Amino acid sequence: MNLTLKIWRQNGSSDKGRMVTYRVDDVSPDMSFLEMLDVLNERLILEGDDPVAFDHDCREGICGMCGMVINGVAHGEQKLTTTCQLHMRHFKDGDTITIEPWRAAAFPVVKDLVVDRSAFDRIIQAGGFVSVPTGSAPEAHSVPVPKADADAAFDAATCIGCGACVAACPNGSASLFTAAKITHLSLLPQGQPERESRARAMVEQMDAEGFGGCTNTGECTAVCPKGIPFDTIARMNADYLKAASK
Amino acid sequence: MKFRRRAQQQQEEETVSLPGMYRVGEPIQDTKAPDGPIEDRWDTRRFQAKLVNPVNKRKLTVIVVGTGLAGGSAAATLGELGYKVKSFCYQDSPRRAHSIAAQGGINAAKNYRGDGDSIYRLFYDTVKGGDYRARESNVYRLAQVSVNIIDQAVAQGVPFAREYGGLLDTRSFGGTQVSRTFYARGQTGQQLLLGAYQALERQVAAGNVEVFTRHEMLELIVSGGRARGVVVRDMVTGEIETHLADAVVLASGGYGNVFYLSTNAKGCNTTAIWRAHKKGAYFGNPCYTQIHPTCIPQSGDHQSKLTLMSESLRNDGRVWVPKRKGDNRAPGDIPEDERDYYLERIYPAFGNLVPRDIASRAAKNVCDEGRGVGPGGLGVYLDFADAIRRMGREAVEKKYGNLFEMYERITGENPYEVPMRIYPAVHYTMGGLWVDYDLQSTIPGLFVIGEANFSDHGANRLGASALMQGLADGYFVLPTTIGDYLAGATSFGPVEEDDVAEARKAVQDKIDKLLSVNGNRTADSFHRELGRIMWDYCGMERTEESLRKALERIPELREEFWNNVKVPGDAEGLNQALERAGRVADFFELAELMCIDALHRTESCGGHFRAESQDADGEALRDDENFAYVAAWEWTPEGPVLHKEELNYEYVKMTQRSYK
Amino acid sequence: MAVTGAVLVLFLIAHMLGNLKIFLGADSFNHYAEWLRTVGSPALPNRTVLTITEIVLVVCVVLHMWAAVSLARRAAKARPVKYAAKRKSQANGYATHTMRYGGVIIVLFVIWHLLDMTFGTVNPEGGDATPYARMIAGFQPDRWWVALFYLVAMVMVGFHLRHGLWSAFQTLGLTRRPRVRSTLQTTAVAVSAVLVIGFVSAPVCILIGVVK
């Protein structure tokens, strides 16, 4: 199939940036979206042009490195799918596809479709861990965890930190990302001692990074490639309110 | 002495058969592993190891390259111990290292099932699974600390699968008959890595670790005979930076991407260890490559990587191909008696659960016979129809749902209705930089952990053992052994400026060269061609002829690369084409060493199958008389020099592996 | 936002219950209106409770709007560069995406509503008529457009509440467990629906002449 791509090009963080139109022909429906961009880039290199910079690594939907807003939807319209796992069979011959980077003040553009998501690391630094130095752990079976709690914690823990939630949120909020980690740890007995301080510190860091506020639109969950449940945000709010009221 | 003689005999033979390809040097020994009963060796070593005064730790800098399970856990632990740690990764966050993609699980000798598991059995299985090409002392230590890993991960909040009673669930996994694999659905690597990542970020917050993301190590700084730092490129600004330290730890992962198509992440590369190799670190067993049997087959030439389907699928899925050659019927139309469940037929005891190398080669054999399925006949069926009948669709969905979804996303086929198609793909490299029991390479002060070292897996790695080894090295082994080295840091002296300048110049020269060629082919196109050569001639099955052909083609292609590659743009700022070209350049050099290693090892063992060395049934035939050694290769401008480390088996008797 | 919203919802419920007295006849309705002024009397001067209520309501409305404006401003700051492609909503729920302009419509309505029913400025009967008379006059068929505006505004209030209520439950962290969550979802829908029906029933009945 033949496609027209409208891609955001921005040469470095100080450049203003613009949309540039490219044509890509002979796209196979079995290609992944990134493989389609590979084809474009190979051509651009040979033509002496600057290839389109985009982040990617594992290309199997787990590292969280890739991410583009495709036709106005973070990671494209295919549900529960990262950009690297999106395949061209979901597009039609002659389609025009708009490709943009995650848009958020807290995610400044590095180049083209590459953004800086280090704000997420700093949110984790604020408290997204259990303080357990290596070697100090008790025997694993000393604390049984109800299966339902372990499963729910796992569901929250599958977050890949890609940032699609922020990109999709009309408010540019990072609540789903932050809530996923808070929920994962607050559901487990191991996370209890630091539960409140964690919620408080992480929420405050999230606000300090310049993300928007949550208005519970649910756009984040809808585009999340891992389907992080929306109730994680309620849990974050509960933990935060409890911590803040002390 | 006997070993010496043997080596000499062999050298004579080889200089005849492989003229000019390599030379044989002095044997090498692991001087750090203590003697005595195997159960006590790690204790002994820990006690012998010198300690660093807590006050002095703050003054000592350790560089850790890579933030996967090994690097992340090591950097976190070293930070906790009080060292000043600088951690580097090429991704935009340490959480993205490719350990994250490990699906199946992590082994540990907890014996929670009471099914006869023990530290000794894990040790035994690993040595046997590695086809008797791993060090006993290392493997025993690995089995010992495996239990601590589970404790540590659980305490960090890693959400392992649990039973209704709240205790940890385990399953049996590729090639073992006890249930010792702990897992978190199909995302065990992710959960363990996030545990290590969170521990690392805690140390960042505490000011003990500084993380440099989007930084790629391009050279090792060796001064006064010791590893003293690295030269890195800030991939965003393009700046070449120097970072000095008292010790350097490489945890940069494996080099499976030399095949272009592999299950590795696109960014995985050999540059860090290859640069270290060229600075004096020996490379151990480069030819040992693991080909994973359950990957999604290639769909076309555009393919940029291969995706693994967890081996756990083989617990319930049945592998088959049509009995008749060229049978093009849809799988559902092929009646039961015209199907060949070849693994169950050939290996009745282990059936679909035979180790990876065996399952992979069996798939290749049936495809070579013309009985493969799917595009190009490069695939076999992995069928869940029986499992769905037996357990119900819901139970299958619960167990494998996410894997089935992934399969459908990629292929557009529904595995609940049509059997999956799978084919082997390069997955893991057992080879890597040679290290002693302390995980120190032949360059003092350069430690190598995780997949980057030649490790504990011998010639073949068992399923769910990579996560175990990475975390064992990072959390428990390295933080102890590096102290022994750093205790002498006061005598290291300053780093010579000339050594730094030389390393920086090497980096700058290479970048300038790559940018100046301005030819007609992209780095990716060279990489694809190199990968094709490696897969065809140094892949699942190797012959003298194929390897010689590879060794002819690789230098030609490398020559063309340096004369005809096109790298657009400049070195200022983000230039992904430049990054890729630099990595491909190093893959060329490594590929040659892999082929030389594969050519010199005329036996078959584990992930290295030489067609010339097989038994009557077509199984790998080891040559323990001549090859029970680690091949540690030294780089010299005149070509590689082979140093042999003899392997002694005091506890596990060497036998021909049999899974029948 | 959640707290001020909750106060306003409580007010709406009371207001609706009061409105429904119209069906009990003019005396009942006027008496209720009178009672609103004299509640607490003679212990307290007339209108004490009413004034306090009015102040609380005004404060809540102002705070609610201030919160909404600051959230919107924060959102604008959090995404200084907009997407070129039209952002397609992936979450279902029309209600969710009408909160801001829905809120504006509601404010405009409230202003009209006060001028119409409280001060009588735009009411045909004027400010001196009884509340019952003002209400009946306000929704006569010849003033169908008033009733229509009222209807539209009430549907807007319904949407606003449907998301607002649920959002408040979420913000206060009450929706953690799936069971509670679905109960509260239903609650949000039910409360919004009851309020809309309750508020709409009086003008509709007046419009079609059931209540005169």
pLDDT in tens, B536-567: 999 999 999 999 999 999 999 999 999 999 99
Taking the CA atoms of residue B568, residue B570, residue B574 and residue B580 in that order, the dihedral angle to the nearest 10 degrees is 50
Region B620-640: what's the mean pLDDT?
A: 96
Q: Are A and C touching by the rule of 3+ CB pairs within 8 Å? A: yes
Among candidates A173, A231, A240 on the partner chain, residue whose Cβ is nearest the Cβ of C181: A231
Structure confidence at residue B339 (pLDDT): 97
Structure confidence at residue B169 (pLDDT): 96
Residue C72 to residues B358, C2, C75, C94, C99, Cα–Cα distance (Å): 61, 15, 5, 18, 11
Annotated active-site residue B356? The verdict is yes
Dihedral pair phi/psi, residue A24, rounded to 5°: -125, 125
Say yes or no to pLDDT of A183 above 70. Answer: yes
Say yes or no to pLDDT of A49 above 70. Answer: yes
Say yes or no to pLDDT of B373 above 80. Answer: yes
For a pLDDT cut of 70, what percent of chain C falls above it? 100
**Chain C residues close to A211, C-beta within 8 Å:** 78
Dihedral pair phi/psi, residue B478, rounded to 5°: -55, -45
Interface membership of C69 toward A (CB under 8 Å)? no
Distance (Å) from the C-alpha of residue C87 to the closest C-alpha of chain A? 4
Mutate to test the interface with A, among C66, C83, C159, C175 (most CBs of A within 10 A): C83
Which one, of A241, A215, A233, A240, lies nearest residue C164 by Cα? A215
Interface membership of C37 toward A (CB under 8 Å)? no
Q: Where are the alpha helices (DSSP H) in B567-646?
A: 576-600, 624-627
Q: Is pLDDT larger for residue C43 or for residue B495?
A: B495
| ipTM for this prediction | 0.98
CB pairs under 8 A between A and B: 227
Distance (Å) from the C-alpha of residue A89 to the closest C-alpha of chain B? 8
Mutate to test the interface with C, among A237, A239, A240, A245 (most CBs of C within 10 A): A237
Structure confidence at residue B12 (pLDDT): 46
Region B569-594: what's the mean pLDDT?
A: 97
* Per-residue pLDDT band at B14 (split at 50, 70, 90): very low
CB atoms A214 and C74 under 8 Å:
no
Q: β-strands B61-65, B84-88: how paired?
A: parallel
Region B248-263: what's the mean pLDDT?
A: 98
Interface membership of C78 toward A (CB under 8 Å)? yes
Say yes or no to pLDDT of B86 above 90. Answer: yes
Chain mean position to CA B318:
27
CB atoms B265 and A12 under 8 Å:
no
Report the C-alpha gap between B93 and A117 in whole angstroms. Answer: 8
For a pLDDT cut of 70, what percent of chain B falls above it? 97
Cis peptide leading into residue C42 (ω within 30°) = yes
For a pLDDT cut of 90, what percent of chain C falls above it? 67
Task: Kindly report, residue by residue over A96-127, the tens digit of the pLDDT.
Answer: 999 999 999 999 999 999 999 999 999 999 99
Residue A136: CB atoms within 10 A of its CB come to 11
Structure confidence at residue B146 (pLDDT): 98
Task: Kindly report, residue by residue over A205-242, the tens digit of the pLDDT.
Answer: 999 999 999 999 999 999 999 999 999 999 999 999 99
* Per-residue pLDDT band at B256 (split at 50, 70, 90): very high
Identify the chains in contact with C, defined as 3+ C-beta pairs within 8 A.
A
What is the chain A residue with the closest CA to C169?
A: A234
Among candidates A6, A105, A240 on the partner chain, residue whose Cβ is nearest the Cβ of C80: A105
Task: Kindly report, residue by residue over B171-180, the tens digit of the pLDDT.
Answer: 888 667 899 9
Task: Kindly report, residue by residue over A142-162, the tens digit of the pLDDT.
Answer: 999 999 999 999 999 999 999
Distance (Å) from the C-alpha of residue A89 to the closest C-alpha of chain C? 20
* Per-residue pLDDT band at B4 (split at 50, 70, 90): very low
Distance (Å) from the C-alpha of residue A209 to the closest C-alpha of chain C? 9
Distance (Å) from the C-alpha of residue C130 to the closest C-alpha of chain A? 42
CB atoms B159 and A157 under 8 Å:
yes
Domain ranges of chain A: 3-111, 117-244
Structure confidence at residue C211 (pLDDT): 87
* Per-residue pLDDT band at B312 (split at 50, 70, 90): confident
Region A79-100: what's the mean pLDDT?
A: 97
**Chain C residues close to A215, C-beta within 8 Å:** 71, 99, 167
Structure confidence at residue B175 (pLDDT): 63
Distance (Å) from the C-alpha of residue A223 to the closest C-alpha of chain C? 7
What is the chain A residue with the closest CA to C93?
A: A217
Q: Are B and C touching by the rule of 3+ CB pairs within 8 Å? A: no
By mean pLDDT, which of A83-97, B3-17, B32-46, C10-24 is the weakest?
B3-17
The CATH code of domain A3-111 reads 3.10.20.30
The active-site residue out of B141, B356, B461, B580 is: B356
What is the chain A residue with the closest CA to B296?
A: A60
Q: Is pLDDT larger for residue C102 or for residue B531?
A: B531
Structure confidence at residue A66 (pLDDT): 98
Region B610-634: what's the mean pLDDT?
A: 94
**Chain C residues close to A77, C-beta within 8 Å:** 88, 90
Region B450-459: what's the mean pLDDT?
A: 95
* Contact present, B273 and B452 (Cβ < 8 Å): yes
Task: Kindly report, residue by residue over B168-201, the tens digit of the pLDDT.
Answer: 999 888 667 899 999 998 899 999 999 999 999 9
For a pLDDT cut of 70, what percent of chain A falls above it? 100
Structure confidence at residue B546 (pLDDT): 97
CB atoms A237 and C75 under 8 Å:
no
Structure confidence at residue B15 (pLDDT): 44
* Per-residue pLDDT band at B16 (split at 50, 70, 90): very low
* Contact present, C35 and C49 (Cβ < 8 Å): no
Say yes or no to pLDDT of A71 above 60. Answer: yes
Structure confidence at residue B3 (pLDDT): 46
The CATH code of domain A117-244 reads 1.10.1060.10
**Chain B residues close to A34, C-beta within 8 Å:** 304
Say yes or no to pLDDT of C66 above 90. Answer: yes
Q: β-strands B247-250, B61-65: how paired?
A: parallel
**What's the whole-number average pLDDT of chain A?**
97
* Per-residue pLDDT band at B402 (split at 50, 70, 90): confident
Question: Which domains can be identified in chain B, with CATH numbers?
Answer: 2-50+63-289+428-481 (3.50.50.60), 292-427 (3.90.700.10), 498-644 (1.20.58.100)
**Chain A residues close to B306, C-beta within 8 Å:** none
Mutate to test the interface with C, among A19, A69, A216, A235 (most CBs of C within 10 A): A216
Among candidates B77, B304, B409 on the partner chain, residue whose Cβ is nearest the Cβ of A134: B77
Chain mean position to CA A73:
13
CB atoms B154 and A190 under 8 Å:
yes
Structure confidence at residue B225 (pLDDT): 97
**What's the whole-number average pLDDT of chain B?**
94
Report the C-alpha gap between B218 and B240 in whole angstroms. Answer: 9
Identify the chains in contact with A, defined as 3+ C-beta pairs within 8 A.
B, C
**Chain C residues close to A214, C-beta within 8 Å:** 171
Region A37-44: what's the mean pLDDT?
A: 97
Say yes or no to pLDDT of B1 above 90. Answer: no
